[in-house]
């Protein structure tokens, strides 16, 4: 259980959900983890979970919309742990109440989406890469979404900015591969995070489940395990790639659910 032994990892958005799962799982695999989140108490809570289990973690409050805050997060990591090997750019999202279809979407929300998803990923990577070069290489793991791969009736901004994260991932992988830096992205499908469970009615959750090829929705740990793999040397020959972790949502035909009823018993 030491796949990340002697590595230092930063996970943004680690105060809850997928980010928390990734931070806890990376620590369990031997990494020293900087738990970064805009919600300082939530970051401390995640760090407490890690340290109570015998791991090493440092909570850091960060505002990924501000470059000085991102730079301070990376500087604090190197000052505390002496190096940086893994960066998980997990912060993102949009407001589905204002990120609507093309004609009704709020343009201020679009600008915020670019900053929260794309610019934050760029800034985190920009400040991490020099330290990774000094460490002899590293792994950047970006969070995209299946929204980058399909069209939808709302959250137009979200799909567009997550597609930009995929493109940025490929550029970073190409530019810094010669220095031993890998950069990959994960595209989660519907995942049973607290945000999903607390904000969607059961019939919507059931509908999401029926859209999967598998008979269940994912957990934050399902995505976290994928991030651990991308952070570890087990994926040393993998870079510039998008790993879709969606229970078969983007694989299954929209007609597959009802066509099953046509099969003989």
Give the separation between CA 147 and CA 161, rounded to whole angstroms: 9
Active-site residue, selected from the candidate residues 81, 158, 176, 237: 158
* CA-based end-to-end distance of the chain: 44
Angle, CA of 31, 12 and 27, to the nearest 5°:
20
176 is catalytic: no
In contact, 10 and 84? CB cutoff 8 Å: yes
Q: What's the token pair of residue 77? A: 């990591």
Give the separation between CA 143 and CA 70, rounded to whole angstroms: 17
Strand residues in 13-108 grouped as ranges (E): 32-37, 56-61, 86-89
Q: Which residues are catalytic?
A: 158
């Amino acid at each position: 259980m030491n796949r990340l032994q002697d590595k230092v990892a930063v996970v943004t958005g680690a105060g809850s959900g997928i980010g928390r799962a990734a931070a806890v799982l990376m620590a369990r695999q031997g990494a020293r983890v900087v738990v970064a989140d805009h919600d300082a108490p939530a970051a401390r809570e995640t760090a407490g979970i890690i340290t109570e289990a015998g791991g090493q973690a440092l909570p850091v409050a960060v505002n990924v919309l501000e470059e000085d805050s991102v730079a301070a997060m990376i500087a604090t990591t190197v000052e505390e742990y002496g190096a940086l090997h893994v960066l998980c750019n997990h912060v993102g999202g949009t407001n589905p109440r204002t990120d609507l279809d093309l004609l009704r979407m709020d343009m201020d929300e679009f600008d915020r989406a670019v900053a929260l998803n794309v610019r934050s990923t760029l800034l985190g990577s920009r400040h991490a890469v020099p330290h990774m070069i000094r460490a002899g290489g590293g792994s950047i793991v970006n969070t995209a979404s299946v929204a980058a791969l399909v069209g939808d009736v709302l959250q137009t901004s979200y799909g567009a900015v997550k597609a930009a994260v995929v493109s940025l991932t490929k550029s970073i992988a190409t530019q810094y591969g010669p220095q031993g830096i890998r950069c990959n992205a994960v595209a989660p499908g519907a995942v049973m995070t607290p945000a999903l469970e607390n904000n969607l009615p059961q019939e919507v959750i059931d509908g999401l489940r029926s859209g999967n090829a598998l008979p269940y929705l994912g957990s934050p740990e399902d995505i976290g395990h994928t991030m651990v793999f991308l952070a570890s040397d087990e994926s040393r020959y993998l870079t510039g790639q998008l790993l879709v972790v969606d229970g078969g949502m983007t694989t299954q035909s929209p007609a597959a659910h009802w066509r099953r009823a046509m099969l003989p018993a």
